[in-house]
Structure 1
């Protein structure tokens, strides 16, 4: 049974974990200031502790209380919050986001989600909630309530059903540090959209300040082969575009990147349940949202480069 936002907030206040729906993926949530609760997230996920967590807050005012926002950070927040953008800024008040949640860094990753149920939980709780994707570490992120429960439901005191996630990919992560703005992880807020607000992004960046950067990540048990033109024996082909593969396994029959993003993790998980010899994925254009889709596919295949 799904918990109400008030029930979820009480569980957080008690130091317990929750399943939290967002527009990106389902999160495994805890009070960001409670080191013991945050440690329980790492244990439940099997997540390495050098990987920082994103703190979710109810609004931009709450975000500015824990992170130091310059003019660039304020501009990005105004343009894309609430929504699927995470900002990495210098930490302002470490009492609200414990050292473990920040992986010992002097920065903090903050997001204001757009999902109304997530916002209701955050408002009821009244503080930042760290909520990495509710999968066991390295596996595809859950974008449905059932998949979230299957992955880490054993660890939570409250599970909130917010329906299927509309975006389907983890948030874009942008660092605003030392006068430079860099894209650390692509997502639904695209590079072009960010640059339309702040101008050209700096090269490189500080990837250790962002989650989701492991070389093998978002991976099903079956091996993933990308840029495939056809399925090999025993493989399931996830097609993209008109007439490519079985429509039941298509990321988007029309070639719509937003539809492909929303379907990606769900289809990877459903294909994996068939125990295929492998999962092949058709080429997806790199432009726009395709940058984020291809980032996840390269990591699912264990190839980043």
Structure 2
């Protein structure tokens, strides 16, 4: 398959009528799959009402079929078609955070969306992305679009069109290149089907921000239970992993450097994931700064790009510093723990 790549300037007016957006929307209506930029990561979009389109998403990614997909919409009115009810707290969250990096889980109407898109669950996760190219494409095609991250399953999510092409060239119909994403980690997923909403995946909207709007919010224990049936993307299987084994290090910089030296003596090429403040502390084969520790949002924005950079340098093993769980740090650590397969070395 020839994968088309369209470069689109997200700052221009009338994006819905941009010829590249028009072409991509037509492919979606023909049940092909197209990668699109969002404010979190690039998504791999397909018609959520079509089994054929959803199957193409799973096939291109090599993604397990028991992992539900998030549905993307451009207008809140679209919810009426496939959502059974909209709780008051969900209304409050949509008002506060849509468009934006928040996925809300609703009870779904039967017989509208592809059962493959929702992995047979009686619920569905929906979000409205805060990216002008994504919104223009969604409006132009007029469909609810299922869109997981546009990468090979298990690998770091794509924050640039080049990442998508690296993974999926020849496997999908096209890529809308809208430049680098902003948030850098996927949306927060919150279930609003019970009286007390539950976070199934930490992301671009923090628990503190959610509670400021709707009061009590719980974290789902299944976030740490690998055997649990996933109710949202990212809850099962190793995700976001670079090619080399990644270990999180809970300890001092001196302890991490000792681990580096031990592996170097074994003849291994060692990488270290740190932040701009600590780059000079490590004498490894490859030391990469992932944002600034003092500004956690910069760490989130650079995380997947940094993990992919280790692949290009072909290191044998990677040691990563750990981060505070406060605010967006919860999402950062969730992704790092998944990427490491929960391998932590404690001083």
The equivalent residue for 2:337 is 298
Please state if 1:5 is matched with 2:21: yes
Measured at CA, do residues 261 and 140 of structure 1 come closer, stay the same or move farther in structure 2, by a change above 3 Å?
Answer: same
Distance 1:220 1:209 in 2: 25
Q: Secondary structure at the match of 1:89?
A: strand
Q: 1:116 aligns with which of 107, 126, 132?
A: 132
The equivalent residue for 1:266 is 305
The equivalent residue for 1:237 is 272
Please state if 1:90 is matched with 2:129: no
Map 1:62-101; keep pairs closer than 5 Å.
Answer: 62-67=78-83, 68-92=85-109, 94-95=111-112, 97-101=113-117
The equivalent residue for 1:227 is 249
The equivalent residue for 2:226 is none
Distance 2:287 2:175 in 1: 29
CA-to-aligned-CA distance 1:244-302 (integer Å, 9 cap, x gap): 44797211245311100010000100112111121221121110000000000000000
Between 1:265-274 and 1:238-247, the stretch displaced more is 238-247
Aligned residues of 1:182 and 1:205 also touching (Cα < 8 A): no
Count of residue pairs the alignment pairs up: 304
What TM-score does the superposition give when structure 2 sets the normalisation length?
Answer: 0.83
Q: Secondary structure at the match of 1:103?
A: coil
Between 1:155-164 and 1:199-208, the stretch displaced more is 199-208
Q: 2:295 aligns with which of 234, 253, 256?
A: 256
Please state if 1:106 is matched with 2:128: no
Q: Secondary structure at the match of 1:105?
A: coil
Distance 2:135 2:36 in 1: 10
Q: Secondary structure at the match of 2:6?
A: coil
Q: 2:239 aligns with which of 217, 220, 224?
A: 217
Question: 1:178 Cα shift?
Answer: 3.0
Q: Secondary structure at the match of 2:67?
A: coil
Q: Secondary structure at the match of 2:164?
A: helix
Between 1:207-216 and 1:113-122, the stretch displaced more is 207-216
Question: 1:218 Cα shift?
Answer: 0.8
Aligned residues of 2:272 and 2:287 also touching (Cα < 8 A): no
Distance 2:33 2:308 in 1: 24
Question: 1:242 Cα shift?
Answer: 1.7
Q: Secondary structure at the match of 1:227?
A: strand
Between 1:58-67 and 1:13-22, the stretch displaced more is 58-67
Aligned residues of 1:18 and 1:159 also touching (Cα < 8 A): yes
Distance 2:314 2:292 in 1: 24
Question: 1:99 Cα shift?
Answer: 0.6
RMSD: 1.9
Aligned residues of 2:279 and 2:288 also touching (Cα < 8 A): no
Question: 1:46 Cα shift?
Answer: 1.0
The equivalent residue for 1:15 is 31
CA-to-aligned-CA distance 1:194-247 (integer Å, 9 cap, x gap): 111111113536762100112421111101111363351322111125234479
The equivalent residue for 1:46 is 62
What TM-score does the superposition give when structure 1 sets the normalisation length?
Answer: 0.94
Question: 1:65 Cα shift?
Answer: 3.3
Query: Where in structure 1 do 4 or more consecutive aligned residues deviate above 4 Å?
Result: 245-248
Question: 1:24 Cα shift?
Answer: 0.6
Question: 1:138 Cα shift?
Answer: 0.7
Measured at CA, do residues 276 and 38 of structure 1 come closer, stay the same or move farther in structure 2, by a change above 3 Å?
Answer: same
Measured at CA, do residues 272 and 301 of structure 1 come closer, stay the same or move farther in structure 2, by a change above 3 Å?
Answer: same
Question: 1:304 Cα shift?
Answer: 8.0
Structure 1 or 2, whichever has the larger Rg, is 2
Between 1:43-52 and 1:214-223, the stretch displaced more is 214-223
Gaps of 5+ in 1: none
